[in-house]
Amino acid sequence: MPSITGRAVQVTDKGGPFAVVQREFPSPGPGQVRIRVQACGVCHSDAVTKFGLFPGIVFPRVPGHEVAGYIDEIAPDVKGFNAGQRVGLGWHGGHCTYCRQCRQGNFVLCENQLISGISYDGGYADYVIAPANALALIPDDLGHVDAAPLMCAGVTTFNSLRNSGARLGDTVAVLGIGGLGHLGVQFAAKGGFNTVAVARGADKGVLAKELGAHHYIDSTTQDVAAELQKLGGADVVLSTVTDAGAMEIAVNGLAPQGRLILLGVPEKPLTLNTMPMILGERAVKGWPSGTGFDSQDTLEFSVLTGVKPRIEEYPLEEASAAFDRMMSGRARFRVVLTTGA
Amino acid sequence: MPSITGRAVQVTDKGGPFAVVQREFPSPGPGQVRIRVQACGVCHSDAVTKFGLFPGIVFPRVPGHEVAGYIDEIAPDVKGFNAGQRVGLGWHGGHCTYCRQCRQGNFVLCENQLISGISYDGGYADYVIAPANALALIPDDLGHVDAAPLMCAGVTTFNSLRNSGARLGDTVAVLGIGGLGHLGVQFAAKGGFNTVAVARGADKGVLAKELGAHHYIDSTTQDVAAELQKLGGADVVLSTVTDAGAMEIAVNGLAPQGRLILLGVPEKPLTLNTMPMILGERAVKGWPSGTGFDSQDTLEFSVLTGVKPRIEEYPLEEASAAFDRMMSGRARFRVVLTTGA
Amino acid sequence: MPSITGRAVQVTDKGGPFAVVQREFPSPGPGQVRIRVQACGVCHSDAVTKFGLFPGIVFPRVPGHEVAGYIDEIAPDVKGFNAGQRVGLGWHGGHCTYCRQCRQGNFVLCENQLISGISYDGGYADYVIAPANALALIPDDLGHVDAAPLMCAGVTTFNSLRNSGARLGDTVAVLGIGGLGHLGVQFAAKGGFNTVAVARGADKGVLAKELGAHHYIDSTTQDVAAELQKLGGADVVLSTVTDAGAMEIAVNGLAPQGRLILLGVPEKPLTLNTMPMILGERAVKGWPSGTGFDSQDTLEFSVLTGVKPRIEEYPLEEASAAFDRMMSGRARFRVVLTTGA
Amino acid sequence: MPSITGRAVQVTDKGGPFAVVQREFPSPGPGQVRIRVQACGVCHSDAVTKFGLFPGIVFPRVPGHEVAGYIDEIAPDVKGFNAGQRVGLGWHGGHCTYCRQCRQGNFVLCENQLISGISYDGGYADYVIAPANALALIPDDLGHVDAAPLMCAGVTTFNSLRNSGARLGDTVAVLGIGGLGHLGVQFAAKGGFNTVAVARGADKGVLAKELGAHHYIDSTTQDVAAELQKLGGADVVLSTVTDAGAMEIAVNGLAPQGRLILLGVPEKPLTLNTMPMILGERAVKGWPSGTGFDSQDTLEFSVLTGVKPRIEEYPLEEASAAFDRMMSGRARFRVVLTTGA
Ligand SMILES: [Zn+2]
Ligand SMILES: [Zn+2]
Ligand SMILES: [Zn+2]
Ligand SMILES: [Zn+2]
Ligand SMILES: [Zn+2]
Ligand SMILES: [Zn+2]
Ligand SMILES: [Zn+2]
Ligand SMILES: [Zn+2]
């Protein structure tokens, strides 16, 4: 099949503006598919592309790692997917299959991992060409716009939670109610956890309860660690914020054997008081995101239990405004680009 | 404090009838409390007492291991509980604290475990005297009648499920929708599992859906293993039935790495086809019940998520009719005695 | 590169004799390598090929799934391996990469799994053509003859043991001291477990101690369950036998929370007394083998700790005699074919 | 039985000198035993007593939480132990049995935990009176002097290792080869781990190999993180040092999914670079020590596998010199007081 023409919103060079361009999208190469994008979430990590925060990014580059759309064309050697299927593509943009981690089945830790929108052009576009081994199937009952944010904000919170060791009824606190946190709260509540939302300001409390939180802590007026301890301590804290200080405080709110799970990179190194960690078998653990299959599980869970992202939609051509809106921290809660395709 | 007079419904001797008697309930001995019973569930395992199915039962014996009531009196050496508190007592009726299992904290596996209503007189009575280390605190928002069945039918299903290794969104099948199963289905649904109820007859399907099941399989007309495999296989099967054949079939409905968890003793030995177990890393595991603390977690989870037993109430004096009703298998779903105290 | 000529020992048709033939071995296809075989273990499961015990085996077929040799030629698309490397090939003969299990990284549970010597021609030959994703690298310090049996008998026992949940110092019993068992005993002893060997006859006791067992139980004269219970019960039993009765007895020798792990298929269905399973949280679990990477870990552990298979060597042309010797159950302990290449 | 007279080495007041005094040791109270001390290890944590580092220490206080001796007298209510038995007493000096953690069986996390030599008088004495629920039985094949250091330095390293999730053959690094580390290295080697010792100076390398280490890294001349990564990264690092910087470096030496386990409190807060933690699912976890039963497991494992502490013996009356020797960091490797009883 021939290449096809479409729009892409690319970052021309490191720190440069977004530019809407027309370009060719060739047929997918071996192991790849071409996706006709319907929706693409705008994630804080798109700043990595915009500002060239990882080494080796080749510009111009199209950001976007919360992609939902149709398989438009599929390489002849790809098995397990078919043209026309609805698929999602997330941060994990493909794995090599042969490194030590891949040979153990830990694809998300692949030593040669590709990242959508960073290693190759992502979802701020009409088409994306991506490795089939990064894809998730989207369930029939889930729309593209809802699926998109679940491909990164969703899978990151869902997958870290389901692998956290938390048992039914345990206390799970979510730090931050933004793009990730507003999904984390829902997942925790639907998963049978005693769910605590922690955020800044009293007004977020109403939202937190709507999202299913059983408790809300306003970190601007309350002592977060003390409030968590009143509830018996948090067995798990999912940190979706970038404020190192907030994470450090949360360690003091952990129950014995509790663990703080870092989903977002703090803006500076964490400084940990280790005494309560040692006396109480507490832990701090990082978590990256998930594979395409993990995302597929996330989508299926969301349909099963009714978890839905709250979004603000922008047309693809307004990607620059959408990105600014996301960066402002005032979006409620996830910004999604739509192609109108 | 002096002893106190009250009613007890005792089995006079092995296989004999229930007799309502007036008797003295002395002050609790060291480590014990006296509970003023408000409600007591009637469990299939009460047949152990009634028919003397365990060795060494001393008759007359008062059955009942789903007890809810007030602490009426407390021995001076007991710490951690206070007179007047609302407490539950389940199958696990106390542990020795010094055997190998107790020293490891595995109280439910205590080598000298006491069983309520079997080792000592249970809850078919106005009062029960029991070790404090077997108690659960009942949350304020949970009534005695609702709490009672959660102390055995509840904790057995809840505790096995939360320790099954199932992760959010996994497929959990519950075999049987009776006293245990109707709670197991609710726990699984509220815990974020893809919940499959399996029972006999199409009419149970409506109930299953009301309880939150996402799928229902009628074992009288459907191939249970094939239906489970259509859903991708069950990651966990909780077996609450006594039909060995039904359990054997369920093994064939397990997903790879799935496990069948036995909560009820089958009426005859299980005969397992091991080939699918070996090729698919499948397992069959037994599960006993839980400690007082496990029960307390069960009660708290039930309040948190709205799980409620469905019950038929009988006054204490009609214990014999209540027991017959339970044994008939037609109760919907749990029979509870109330003292009217 | 052209095809190459060599010997193969093939089963002409179901149940037929072994025939030594000269044949061509073509260049490897996409994703494959051609291995110049140095040694190949003779496993009881080779009877599957010999007697056509699995459906769909295409005859003539060359058995052999404990292969050690050099990569002779490698397809251009294969990454992560190089021609000339020393590699092993086991029972797990390749996975599809795209089924549900592969997408989750559970390659050994691949729905389209290939089995060496069954799905394609195996190691009773001068050359084997196999998928690269099934390979293990052989450490420099390990010879081909020693490596071969570790590719099936080794990885099956090692991998089941390391995934059994046994902790340092736990009691691990190995049922049977044959091809698998004599490795299982060594792995358990070198892994810091209180190691119990169980076999038939007093003479095996000396061997068991040589292999590192701390205890030996002669099942022809001792009550296996009672002897295990005297030791506190087995936390893990690895069953390498085919005698269903021996497995059933072992369940009664489990400690609370102990698990019987089935590595060999019993000659008839298992009949389980479930009461001790339920009261003691005991489990019966199947275990298949391991991936190429699991085998590589097995080889590395063997070098690290000095585990060595005991073998009887036969030249490739005497494969028929070697097979009979293995089937007799009198080999000590593993029969290995060598090509003299 | 009457009280008995003996020596005790007490810290008169916070920061004051050790004083050898004669005093009465009364009969044990409810739940207690009196131990006739044979040996007591000198641990760095004895500085807590010496310098009053925990709040609320009542002086004079006798330090010592690595006690080995005979049960001299036993309270009538104590079950599971007998007078004359050989027992050990460690840092975990008793638990309340009724707090939330105790009710869950997590005794080492008891909210009312007693610490030997801090909450009550410890083992720098001829006798110790201690709760029976803190005791370990000493195996027949283990002498008192060898048993003593295993009660704290031993159980801390053994118990953290066996609960670390490390699997057979994983790479385990031990930071520091002192009182704890020289045992940690032995446990790791005997437990079938690829064992890496990390310490200061080339001379420690010889010792490390004698203790069973497969690899040695000299942190004064080598890049610890880089050397660990050359080995594939550490799956587990047990940190027995107090140098925060050394711990921070070790995080960079972790394999994907690796965890740094803190056994010793660093002299200042840890500052963590979280990016490798997030991208690689790495964790930092604290670990306290273990219960009496955990210590008993430690002693049994040591006998089973031949792990032995290396010690310098001092008579009880020279406790002050022994303490100074330990604090100097030059002891090889553990200082033990003996009573000569
Ligand atoms: Zn993202
Ligand atoms: Zn890779
Ligand atoms: Zn019951
Ligand atoms: Zn006990
Ligand atoms: Zn084999
Ligand atoms: Zn597959
Ligand atoms: Zn210590
Ligand atoms: Zn406590």
Task: Note the pLDDT tens digit of each residue in A237-265.
Answer: 999 999 999 999 999 999 999 999 999 89
% chain B with pLDDT above 90: 96
Nearest CA-CA distance, residue B324 and chain D, Å = 36
The CA distance from A226 to D100, in Å, is: 18
Cis peptide before C293 (omega within 30 of 0): no
Give me the residue from B80, B81, B105 closest to D105, CB to CB. B105
Q: Which amino acid is at D159?
A: N
Pick the residue from chain D with its C-alpha nearest to B106.
D105
Mean pLDDT of chain D: 97
- For chain A, residues classed under CATH 3.90.180.10 are 4-152+289-338
C100 CB neighbours in chain B (<8 A) are 232
User: Rounded to the nearest whole angstrom, what is the distance from the C-alpha of residue D9 to the centroid of ligand 1?
Assistant: 61
**Band of residue A140 on the pLDDT scale cut at 50, 70, 90:** very high
Mean pLDDT of chain A: 97
pLDDT given for residue A2 in this prediction: 77
Neighbours of ion ligand 2 (CB under 5 A): A 95-96, 99, 102, 110, 112
Instruction: Give the position of tokens 């389980």.
Output: C272
Nearest CA-CA distance, residue A23 and chain C, Å = 30
Mean pLDDT of chain C: 97
pLDDT given for residue D81 in this prediction: 98
Give me the residue from C257, C273, C286 closest to B280, CB to CB. C286
C161 CB neighbours in chain D (<8 A) are 168
User: Rounded to the nearest whole angstrom, what is the distance from the C-alpha of residue C107 to the centroid of ligand 6?
Assistant: 6
The CA distance from B340 to B159, in Å, is: 30
**Element holding C224 (H helix, E strand):** helix C224-230
C278 CB neighbours in chain B (<8 A) are 262-263, 265, 286-288
Instruction: Give the position of tokens 């106190």.
Output: B4
10 Å Cβ neighbour count for D337?
28
User: Rounded to the nearest whole angstrom, what is the distance from the C-alpha of residue D326 to the centroid of ligand 4?
Assistant: 39
Nearest CA-CA distance, residue D107 and chain B, Å = 7
Whether residue C278 and residue B263 make contact (CB cut-off 8 A), yes or no, is: yes
- Whether the predicted pLDDT of D1 surpasses 90: no
A277 CB neighbours in chain D (<8 A) are 262, 284-286
Give me the residue from C269, C278, C288 closest to B271, CB to CB. C269
The ipTM value here is 0.97
* Three-class SS state of A284: strand
CATH class of A164-286: alpha beta
pLDDT given for residue B341 in this prediction: 77
Whether residue B191 and residue A191 make contact (CB cut-off 8 A), yes or no, is: yes
Counting as contact any 3 or more CB pairs under 8 A, the partners of D are A, B, C
Give me the residue from B190, B194, B214 closest to A192, CB to CB. B190
Give me the residue from B257, B265, B278 closest to C262, CB to CB. B278
The CA distance from D184 to D239, in Å, is: 10
CATH superfamily assigned to domain B4-152+289-338: Medium-chain alcohol dehydrogenases, catalytic domain (3.90.180.10)
Whether residue D304 and residue C169 make contact (CB cut-off 8 A), yes or no, is: yes
- Whether the predicted pLDDT of A226 surpasses 80: yes
* Three-class SS state of B213: coil
pLDDT, tens digit (0-9, with 9 covering 90-100), for B124-148: 999 999 999 999 999 999 999 999 9
10 Å Cβ neighbour count for C243?
17
CA C114 to centroid of chain Cα atoms: 15
* CB D35 within 8 Å of CB D127: yes
- Whether the predicted pLDDT of B17 surpasses 90: yes
Residue range D43-72: mean pLDDT, rounded: 97
The CA distance from D241 to A273, in Å, is: 16
Query: Which stretch, B266-270, C157-161, D326-330, has highest mean pLDDT?
Result: C157-161
C183 CB neighbours in chain D (<8 A) are none
In our burial notation (b when 16+ CB lie closer than 10 A, e otherwise), range B20-40 reads eeebebeebeebbbbbbbbbb
- Strands D215-218, A4-11: pairing is unpaired
Pick the residue from chain B with its C-alpha nearest to D99.
B80
B85 CB neighbours in chain D (<8 A) are none
Q: Which of A81, A97, A294 to mutate to test the interface with C (most CBs of C within 10 A)?
A: A97
Counting as contact any 3 or more CB pairs under 8 A, the partners of B are A, C, D
The CA distance from D283 to D69, in Å, is: 39
Residue range D303-325: mean pLDDT, rounded: 98
Residue range C42-48: mean pLDDT, rounded: 97
Pick the residue from chain B with its C-alpha nearest to A190.
B192
Instruction: Give the position of tokens 């000396």.
Output: C206
C301 CB neighbours in chain D (<8 A) are 168-169, 192
Q: Which amino acid is at B44?
A: H
Residue range B64-81: mean pLDDT, rounded: 98
Whether residue A288 and residue D269 make contact (CB cut-off 8 A), yes or no, is: no
* Three-class SS state of B279: helix
pLDDT, tens digit (0-9, with 9 covering 90-100), for D268-301: 999 999 999 999 999 999 999 999 999 999 999 9
Give me the residue from C163, C191, C214 closest to D192, CB to CB. C191
Nearest CA-CA distance, residue D214 and chain C, Å = 8
pLDDT, tens digit (0-9, with 9 covering 90-100), for A153-189: 999 999 999 999 999 999 999 999 999 999 999 999 9
Pick left, alpha or beta for residue B31 (phi over 0 → left; psi -120 to 50 → alpha; otherwise beta).
left
- For chain D, residues classed under CATH 3.40.50.720 are 164-286
**Band of residue D341 on the pLDDT scale cut at 50, 70, 90:** confident
* Three-class SS state of C126: coil
Mean pLDDT of chain B: 97
- Whether the predicted pLDDT of B28 surpasses 90: yes
Contacting C with CB below 8 Å, chain D residues are 158, 161-163, 167-169, 187, 190-192, 194, 214, 297, 300-301, 304-305
* CB A185 within 8 Å of CB A176: no
**Band of residue C341 on the pLDDT scale cut at 50, 70, 90:** confident
Give me the residue from B103, B132, B133 closest to D293, CB to CB. B103
Whether residue C281 and residue B287 make contact (CB cut-off 8 A), yes or no, is: yes
pLDDT given for residue C2 in this prediction: 77
**Band of residue C4 on the pLDDT scale cut at 50, 70, 90:** very high
**Band of residue B2 on the pLDDT scale cut at 50, 70, 90:** confident
**Band of residue D208 on the pLDDT scale cut at 50, 70, 90:** very high
Nearest CA-CA distance, residue C111 and chain B, Å = 10
Residue range A90-99: mean pLDDT, rounded: 98
Tokens encoding B154 = 């509840």
Query: By CB neighbour count within 10 A (0-12 exposed, 13-18 middle, 19+ buried), where does A24 fall?
Result: exposed
pLDDT, tens digit (0-9, with 9 covering 90-100), for B215-264: 999 999 999 999 999 999 999 999 999 999 999 999 999 999 999 999 98
pLDDT, tens digit (0-9, with 9 covering 90-100), for A305-337: 999 999 999 999 999 999 999 999 889 899 999
pLDDT, tens digit (0-9, with 9 covering 90-100), for B101-120: 999 999 999 999 999 999 99
Residue range C147-153: mean pLDDT, rounded: 98
% chain D with pLDDT above 70: 100
For residue B103, give Cα distances in angstroms to B78, B99, D213.
19, 6, 33
- Whether the predicted pLDDT of A1 surpasses 70: no
User: Rounded to the nearest whole angstrom, what is the distance from the C-alpha of residue D283 to the centroid of ligand 7?
Assistant: 24
pLDDT given for residue B1 in this prediction: 62
User: Rounded to the nearest whole angstrom, what is the distance from the C-alpha of residue C198 to the centroid of ligand 5?
Assistant: 21
pLDDT given for residue C1 in this prediction: 62
Tokens encoding C264 = 């060999």
pLDDT given for residue A270 in this prediction: 95
Pick the residue from chain A with its C-alpha nearest to C30.
A77
Give me the residue from B81, B97, B99 closest to D97, CB to CB. B97
* CB B93 within 8 Å of CB B114: yes
% chain A with pLDDT above 90: 96
Whether residue B272 and residue C270 make contact (CB cut-off 8 A), yes or no, is: yes
The CA distance from C238 to C185, in Å, is: 9
